Amino acid sequence: MSVALRDVHKAYGRTTALDGIELRVEEGEFFCLLGPSGAGKTTTLKTVAGLERPDSGTVEIDGRDVRDVEPYDRGVAMCFESYALYPHRSVYDNLVSPLRSPRHRLPAAEARERVGAIAELLGISGLLDRSVGQLSNGQRQRVALGRVLVRPARAFLLDEPLSHLDAKLRQQMRAELKAIGAVRRTTTLYVTHDSVEALALGDRIGVIRDGRIVQTGTREEIWYRPYDTEVARAFGRPRINLLPGTVTEAGEFRSVDGAVELPLPVRASAGSEVLVGVRPRDVSLAGDGHRLSGSVYVTEVLGRSVEVTVRIGAQHLSLVVPRSEAAGLRPDEPVRPAVRAENLLVFEADRPGRPGRRIGKST
Amino acid sequence: MKRRLVGRLADAALILYFLFALFPIAWMVLLSLKPADQLFSTYFSFTPTLDSYRTVLGDSEGIPFVRFFVNSLVVSVGAVALSLVVGLPAAYASARWRFRGSENLMFTLLSFRFAPELTVIIPLFVLYQKLGLFDTYVGMVWVLQLVTLPLVVWIMRSYFTDLTPELEQAALLDGYSRKQAFFRVALPLVKPGIAAVSLLAFIFAWNNFVFPLILTSSSAQTVTVGALSFLGGDRPKYNLTAAAALVSVVPPLLLALTIQRYLVRGLSFGAVKS
């Protein structure tokens, strides 16, 4: 099933939650909606589910306007960020609720079988008789996911389902989630504030900010052609380097203090203020490319690689290199990091309330 | 060592306080056990007798106390029941939706509790006389729910507000209707609140004095007014009033003991992430 939102607006009193959302999720696609808290992610999901009514704009499911369609009739299943498990009922009763509800009267025997299969899949068979209050966060999260999967749905709406888990469990569940066949086959709209999760899971990613979708694209598009500095900063750890400076008459980049000069991969008007972005993994100490000269500021081991922060004039440039390359580096030691022009991203300078847009061909 | 001393002192202080707080009740108990001819003895020595209770619950000298007792039960339970039936949906609606005038409506309800009952009692008396509600069960339930309904609505509203709306939204997606989500998901989760507010409302209704004093004469009169009837006549019978008052403490006390376990909040534990 495909889902589309067209120019959807929603306000709660004076607060604007959705400010013209445009979104299209294709049949069978796993779409990640990424944004900070308060960006309108949950409201978007609830609007698709029919739990919130948009002030204007349309929500289409399979090309049909679903304005007056009840939540149940939309055939979607949602996992709430709060899990929203019925605390006064057992795990089994929670899982069977979608199957035995007044609208969906599956015979008891079939329902029991179905719940059993889902519990097996999620490894919670032993918990069925427990009350929800006795479960750990990780177990609750599985039950919540089970309640979503137990009934065949036309689309899954998952609202930060992994956010309350500890790091290890989160990584494990992320892999498991992707491996579940129903999730692979079914249209899924997945909300998260974690860019790593979005990159790992999403066939496509939509970046949402202040109630608007800023950019939609595959992970490659988002990574290599970010819409603006905010999007560029959101993806990748360590964060992208953004160096402020101006465009010279020759069309090259010069940092504010003149210490960094770089050729630009795109044409920008001379004299304009820009930010040049380069990801730490795209800077090397040994490879070829345009050489800069600076000195080691600090090094930090990240497992098999090392993050080296290099001071170049007033700028700090962070780069990630294999451990062998960084061996023996001492603070204040002179180094010559190399940057290739094709790895540079050029942005307009940030202004208050408006991150600088990327200059160059749009996606 | 020092901690234990502080504990002992606190215990002693508490015991003193309880003696002080319970003294009037103890006095009432003694009074109710005194025979009529030793009523005014100031010593605590007297021949204890249950005659007062026998009189109050039996022939009661022309005053139908048992009937007052039944009246009190009927109108208090009636007022609480009516308030729950009307108040629970009202509290839910006001907790979940902001509609035009919703805040004003809530404030109006609350304002019923601002004014002393005496300010409305005269017009009510006239109205009741004209409408034929004077000294009837319906009339008493009607007027007592003015006391209990605001209580139910305001207390239950905060219980519903504490409940995440996502629980009902999950129910909607499961295939429950709004009404079913309210009855099967929201209501069971506020049971402790319902228990607490029912008890409070019952006590308020049961203890109300002014309304039954003015709006009833005999057939719907309640214990609060009825107990005082023993003071009328040629000689005030304090022992009978004391016995009647103590008998009328029993229902709220029993109710409180029965629903005590529901009064502990925390059933909603586990609803959402901790």
Q: Topology of domain A234-348, per CATH?
A: OB fold (Dihydrolipoamide Acetyltransferase, E2P) (2.40.50)
B270 and A147 in contact by Cβ < 8 A? Answer: no
Judged by CB atoms closer than 8 Å, whether chains meet at B164 and A104 is answered as no
* Contacts A78 to B, Cβ<8 Å: 169-170, 173
Residue A361 has pLDDT above 70, yes or no: no
Is the pLDDT score of A251 beyond 60?
Answer: yes
Q: Are B91 and B157 in contact (CB under 8 A)?
A: yes
How confident is the model over A160-180, as a mean pLDDT?
85
Of B166, B174, B269, the CB nearest to A97: B174
Rg (CA), chain A: 24
Nearest to B172 among A72, A82, A132 (CB): A72
Q: What gap in Å lies between CA B200 and CA B148, rounded to an integer?
A: 8
Residue of B nearest to A50 (CA): B173
Torsion on CA atoms A132, A137, A140, A142, rounded to nearest 10: -160
Report, as an integer, the average pLDDT of A96-100: 92
d(CA A253, CA A62): 48
Residue B107, number of CB atoms within 10 A of its CB: 10
Interface check A165 vs B, CB under 8 A: no
pLDDT of B60 reads: 66
The verdict on whether omega for the bond into residue A334 sits within 30 degrees of 0, i.e. cis, is: no
Task: Quote the percentage of chain A above a pLDDT of 70.
Answer: 99
How many whole angstroms separate alpha carbon A179 and alpha carbon B161? 38
Q: Which of A46, A101, A133 sits opposite B269 (nearest CB)?
A: A133
pTM of the model: 0.81
| pLDDT mean for each 10 residues of chain B (274 residues) | 87 94 90 84 77 83 87 96 96 90 87 82 92 94 92 92 92 93 92 89 92 90 89 82 91 86 51 39
Beta-bridged to residue A318, according to DSSP, are A309
What is the rounded distance in angstroms from the CA atom of residue B258 to the CA atom of residue B262? 9
A14 touches B: beta carbon within 8 Å: no
Q: Are B205 and B147 in contact (CB under 8 A)?
A: yes
Instruction: Name the residue facing B273 among A77, A97, A140 (closest C-beta).
Output: A140
How many contacts (CB atoms, under 8 Å) link A and B? 88
Give a three-class secondary structure readout of B133-168.
CCCCHHHHHHHHHHHHHHHHHHHHHHHHHHCCHHHH
Report the phi/psi class of residue B227: left, alpha or beta, with left for phi > 0 and alpha for psi in -120 to 50: alpha
The alpha carbon of B51 is separated from its chain's Cα centroid by a whole number of angstroms, namely 29
Q: Do the Cβ atoms of A82 and B273 come within 8 Å?
A: yes
Query: Token pair for residue B198?
Result: 């029912």
Interface membership of A352 toward B (CB under 8 Å): no
**CATH entry 3.40.50.720 includes domain A3-233:** no
* Domain regions of chain B by residue span: 61-263
- pLDDT for residue B263: 65
Contacts of A206 (CB under 8 A, 6+ apart): A23, A31, A32, A33, A34, A213, A215, A216
CA distance B112 to B218: 27
What is the 3-class SS of A48-62, one letter each residue? HHCCCCCCEEEEEEC
Structure tokens that stand for A143 in this block: 């039950």
**Contact between chains at A103 and B189 (C-beta distance less than 8 A):** no
- Residue A111, chain B, CB below 8 Å: the answer is no
Per-residue pLDDT of A194-213, as tens digits, reads 998 999 999 999 999 999 99
Do the bridges between strand A252-255 and strand A261-263 make them parallel or antiparallel, or are there none, so unpaired? Answer: antiparallel
At residue A357, does pLDDT exceed 60? yes
Task: Name the residue facing A98 among B175, B180, B268 (closest C-beta).
Answer: B175
Residue carrying structure tokens 């000069």: A261
* ipTM score assigned to the predicted complex: 0.84
CA-based nearest residue to A243, from A327, A137, A318: A318
CA dist A244 and A255 (Å) reads: 6
Q: What is the mean pLDDT of residues A226-253?
A: 89
Residue B244 CA to residue A122 CA, distance in Å, equals 64
**Residue spans per domain, chain A:** 3-233, 234-348
Task: Say if residues B190 and B159 touch (Cβ distance below 8 Å).
Answer: yes
- Give the distance, in angstroms, between the CA of residue B252 and the centroid of all CA atoms in the same chain: 7
The CATH homologous superfamily of the domain defined by B61-263: MetI-like (1.10.3720.10)
The separation between the first and the last C-alpha atoms of chain A, rounded to the nearest angstrom, is 26
Query: What was the pLDDT predicted at A215?
Result: 93
pLDDT band for A288, please (50, 70, 90 cuts): confident
Identify the closest residue of chain A to B97 by CA–CA distance. A12
Let me know: does A1 contact A62? Beta carbons within 8 Å: yes
List the beta bridge partners of residue A326.
none
Rounded to a whole number of angstroms, the distance between the first and last alpha carbons of chain B is 39
Is the four-CA dihedral A69, A74, A77, A78 of positive or negative sign?
negative
Residue with tokens 């025997």: A109
**What is the sign of the dihedral through the CA atoms of B38, B44, B46 and B50?**
positive
What pLDDT, on the 0 to 100 scale, is given for residue B267?
40
A233 touching B (Cβ < 8 Å):
no
Quick one: closest CA in B to A156, which residue? B173
- Residues of A with Cβ-Cβ distance to B180 under 8 angstroms: 102
